[in-house]
Structure 1
Amino acid sequence: MNKKKPIFLLSLGCSKNTVDSERILYHAEANGFTFTQRAEDASVIIINTCGFIADAKEESVNEILAAADMRRNGEIEALYVTGCLSALYRRELQAELPEVDRFFGTSDLEEIIRELGGTSETAAIHKRTLLTPPHYAWLKIGEGCSRTCSFCAIPKMRGRHASRTMESLVTEAAMLLQMGVKEINIISQDITQYGWDTHQRSLLDELLVRLADLGAPWLRLLYAYPQNFPVEVIDTMRKTPSVCNYLDIPVQHISDRILTSMNRGISKEQTMRLLESIREKNPEIALRTTMIVGYPGETRREFEELLRFVESFRFERLGCFAYSHEEHTSAYRELEDTIPPEEKEARVKELMELQEGIAASVNRKLEGKSVEIMIDEIQGTTALARTRYDAPEVDNECIINIGNDMTPAPGELWLAEVTDSSAYELYGNLLAKR
């Protein structure tokens, strides 16, 4: 391929996919290829797809179809598709979309670079060009997932969990800090599994200590599975200033019957005991979770059990999905999708309305207080920012007035006074740089 002709890379889906796209971007650029922000200016299009739930699949397919039209009409010279959807449905996609020059799986970086006409150095496989704003980044500590949740096809797409070496992660984190990253978000399909495949025990706490020693201003933990969660991590969090008092720990449901059917490996009582112990160890922590409603056979009573749990436990952050009946999952094979779509959406709405009230109450407690914020963006005399309790892209936003003679910049830490709030926003005034 002519290296002077630009490539358009479309990255869909989650933060784990973003990291894969960043690696493609780096290694292609290292081989002299250039990229464009517009598909119509490209000679090659690469689409990194998501295949998690129906909506994500539909978005991926629509983007592939649009690019296939461009390939058929001669507007581009090549079209490549990679990622989770490609891994799961490669055979079907190849049959239906001959315009796609080649389909790749989720771990085919070197093949993609070779297909473009370049080479990649195995030792540099984790180097990347950030697609996030330059002050925060994702650090993917493992690939795949060894859990067997009934509703999820990720193990089918990405294989069993494989932990990265601690040394490679420390090296990558140091590289990110040298690039100017101020917030490192630790991710995987399940960070709880880190170390189990290589050392038969959790290494997450040891990794967190090593990363904290590098001097990152903020470290954050995302995507922790409740079963076998290493609670010593919470002790490290509490006593380590750079580790944000924040944990994303998807619970999915609280009904024992549904948890068993989901094959979550943890009961209602065990879940509640774990969450309570986390809060006891670190009363300052903000817990984020995710719920699934409309799971096959979920009765009104079971849904109300979930509502009562959410109301009593009062998660600081919570997201909710309507159950999606996905091929390649055990729930798809063994269970009937019994809840009508409109009922699923009604339950999502009911749960999120409950959570909105909880979130508003949590935020009201911050009014009149000073909080540390990370500046994300400047819009005129307003700074858009986040507190330590807010992960990028999914949590609250701080809308902060910039005073005279103040010149905040993205990536800087400041103190701000909270003057007002809503369920998902904090409002206030900038006080001083940290």
Structure 2
Amino acid sequence: MKARTLKPDKVNIITLGCSKNLVDSEVLSGQLKANEINVVHENAKLDHNIVVVNTCGFIDKAKEESINTILAQVDLKKRGKLDKVYVTGCLSERYRNDLESEIPEVDSWFGTLELPLILKEFDADYKKELLGERLLSTPKHYAYLKISEGCNRTCAFCAIPLMRGKHISKTIEEIVAEAEGLVKRGVKEIMLIAQELTYYGLDIYKKRMLADLLKKLSDVQGLEWIRLHYAYPNKFPFEVLDVMRERENICNYLDMPLQHASDRMLQLMKRQSTRTEIIETLNTIRDKVPGICLRTTLIAGFPGETKDDVQELKSFLQEQRFDRVGVFTYSHEEGTSGYNLVDDVPAAEKQKRAEEIMEVQQEISYEKNAEKVGKVFKVIVDKKEAGRYLGRTEFDSVEVDNEVIIQSGKKLQPGQFIQVKITNAFDYDLEGEVI
């Protein structure tokens, strides 16, 4: 494409939101590079002339960040620092018509599944033979691997189906080929992501196939860790746990967002599970994989939530003692069934409830970390920062979980696996020495 500058085009992709968006940006980068277009991600040098903003539209804070980012890029364009600004992703998918009229300086808007249309703006061809090829923006030793797109669930608070559509699984062969390609490039850990992992395969194989997929992936030579994110508790396929227990390179780790523990709130949220059913599922998971790390996310301040509901949730956390917990404050999203309810919990109260819940978890997290002191764990080195090495155990995912502060007299490399004896524990981090 022609721009006002005489220099060759250089495209900077800015990614906002979740790891699924990050994968989309990596795929776009790979396609642009294959078309011999200079592309970078989160470019700090500011020597690019074109920007693609990959937006998030999940909750209010994410939408605000996306809008602010777009406006900042438009301002650079007005000042002659950029030739073109393109916007894609969830916010663009959901609010394109409104945004086009409100921010006319954006050159083009694209939805979540319009990669070929974005490429046309660069006179580039969509190369089907590059299926699975990505320009990684993560450190080279780990990567996210998306196994499906969209979601068939109808949770009352969630707008994801409005932005991402119905559930569409990739084939097992396609996913395994992508994993093999990642390993050849130095990736040692992959994090399987989807809106709903456990639904995998129902659309193309007519049955839940996550366990079969895991068997195939765990056979990939050189793949040392496989990690599972975003599993739904209802109709959880327990055969997945048998594979997890049998295969050493599948981390004893499961991210299962539960959202609440009060039966009344679970019903209002349309979660399809009761508190008793959730507890039975958790008990089975722990029985099948002793020592498994369970991560969950919760929502504070959903319409109709009372202080009794919050107390019930806090009691649930004290009983279940999850290893990792994240809490979101409820965001009233138009188009969802929850939007028909009165958003009756003030923002300040939502935040207060979220903080109360995290205070309970903070204590649990410290106690669980303290139990690790004196024990030895396999740790992957992620980076060196402020003169010290940081890594993770198999019980910790990237960015959202604990880090291990590593004391070492020897030089360590990112992606290296080492044995670390834990010497100190904090609320959300560990410290240890290489043995």
Confirm or deny a common fold (TM above 0.5): yes
Matched residues in 1 for 2:183 and 2:131: separation? Answer: 18
* TM superposition shift of 1:40: 3.8
Residue correspondence of structure 1 range 145-160 to structure 2 within 5 A: 145-160=151-166
Whole-angstrom CA distance in 2 between matches of 1:328 and 1:71 = 33
Task: Report the 3-state secondary structure (helix = DSSP H, G, I; strand = E; otherwise coil) of the residue aligned with 1:398.
Answer: strand
Counterpart position of 2:14: 10
* Other-structure match for 2:374: 368
Shift of 1:125: 3.2
DSSP 3-state at the match of 2:424: strand
Which residue identity lines up with residue 112 of structure 1 in the other structure?
I
Equivalent residue for 2:24? 20
Matches within 5 A, 1:65-104: 65-104=71-110
The percent of aligned pairs where both chains have the same amino acid is: 45
Q: Tell me the CA shift for residue 380 of structure 1.
A: 6.7
Deviations 1:357-414 (A, max 9, x none): 00001111110011100000124752100000000110001001112xx232000110
Q: Does 1:303 align with 2:307?
A: no
Indicate yes or no: 2:430 matched with 1:423. Answer: no
SS of residue matched to 1:133: coil
- The correspondence of residues 115-264 of structure 1 with structure 2, limited to 5 A, is 115-215=121-221, 216-264=223-271
Describe the superposition over 1:321-368 as per-residue Cα deviations: whole angstroms up to 9, x where unpaired.
111111221101x20000111111111111101100000011111100
Does 2:52 align with 1:52? no
CA positional deviation for 1:132: 0.7
Contact 1:381 1:401 survives alignment (8 Å): no
Shift of 1:115: 1.1
- Tell me, yes or no, if the aligned pair for 1:52 and 1:154 is still in contact at 8 Å: yes
Contact 1:39 1:45 in 2 (8 A): no
How big is each residue's C-alpha offset from its partner over 1:37-92, in whole Å with a ceiling of 9 and x where there is no partner? 14742211100000000000000000111111222333322111000000000000
Q: How much has 1:419 moved relative to structure 2?
A: 0.4
What amino acid does structure 2 have at the position aligned with 1:12? Answer: L
Q: Distance in 2 between matches of 1:114 and 1:124?
A: 16
Amino acid in the other structure paired with 2:427: A
Output the amino acid matched with 1:34: N
- Equivalent AA in structure 2 for residue 122 of structure 1: K
Q: Note if contact 1:8-1:38 (Cα within 8 Å) is conserved in structure 2.
A: no
Are 1:346 and 2:352 matched, yes or no?
yes
Question: In terms of mean alpha carbon deviation, does 121-130 or 379-388 score higher?
Answer: 379-388
Q: What's the TM-score, normalizing by structure 1?
A: 0.97
Match for residue 269 of structure 1?
276
Alignment match of 1:313 (pick from 306, 317, 320): 320
Partners in 2 of 1:73 and 1:138 — Cα distance?
A: 36
* Residues 62, 255 of structure 1: alpha-carbon distance in 2 compared, 3 angstrom cutoff: same
Q: Normalising by the residue count of structure 2, what TM-score does the alignment of the two structures yield?
A: 0.96
Deviations 1:156-175 (A, max 9, x none): 00000000011000000000
Q: Secondary structure at the match of 2:395?
A: coil
Return the alpha-carbon distance in structure 2 between the equivalents of residues 282 and 8 of structure 1: 43
Separation in 1 of the partners of 2:98 and 2:132?
A: 30
What letter corresponds to residue 431 of structure 2 in structure 1?
Y
| Superposition map of 1:284-303 within 5 A | 284-303=291-310
What do the CA deviations read for 1:5-26 (whole angstroms, capped 9, x no partner)?
Answer: 2111101110000000001111
On the 8 A contact 1:314/1:358 being kept in 2, the answer is yes
Deviations 1:186-233 (A, max 9, x none): 000110110111122110000000000003100000010111111111
Q: Partner letter of residue 284 of structure 2?
A: S
Does structure 1 residue 34 correspond to structure 2 residue 41? no
State the match for 1:407 in structure 2.
411
How far apart are the structure 2 equivalents of 1:396 and 1:324?
27
**Aligned match of 2:336:** 329
Letter of the 2:21 partner, please give it. Answer: N
Helix, strand or coil for the counterpart of 2:39?
Answer: coil
* Residue identity opposite 2:324 in structure 1: R
Amino acid at match of 1:133: P
Amino acid at match of 1:85: L
* In 1: Cα distance, 2:376 partner to 2:405 partner: 14
CA shift for structure 1 position 236: 0.9
Cα distance between partner residues in 1 of 2:418 and 2:388:
13
Aligned to 1:114: 120
CA-atom RMSD in angstroms: 1.2
Equivalenced residue count is: 428
1:386 matched to 2:392? The reply is yes
**DSSP-derived class of the 1:68 partner:** helix
Q: Write out per-residue CA displacement over residues 94-143 of structure 1, whole angstroms, 9 at most, x where no aligned residue.
A: 11111111100101111111211111212323210101111100010000
Report if the CA contact (8 A) 1:7-1:45 is conserved: yes
Tell me the SS of whatever aligns to 2:121. Answer: helix
Name the aligned partner's letter for residue 313 of structure 1: Q
Partner letter of residue 246 of structure 2?
A: K
CA contact (8 A) 1:381 1:402 kept: no
Q: Residue 168 and residue 313 in structure 1: after superposition, are their counterparts in 2 closer, same or farther (change >3 A)?
A: same
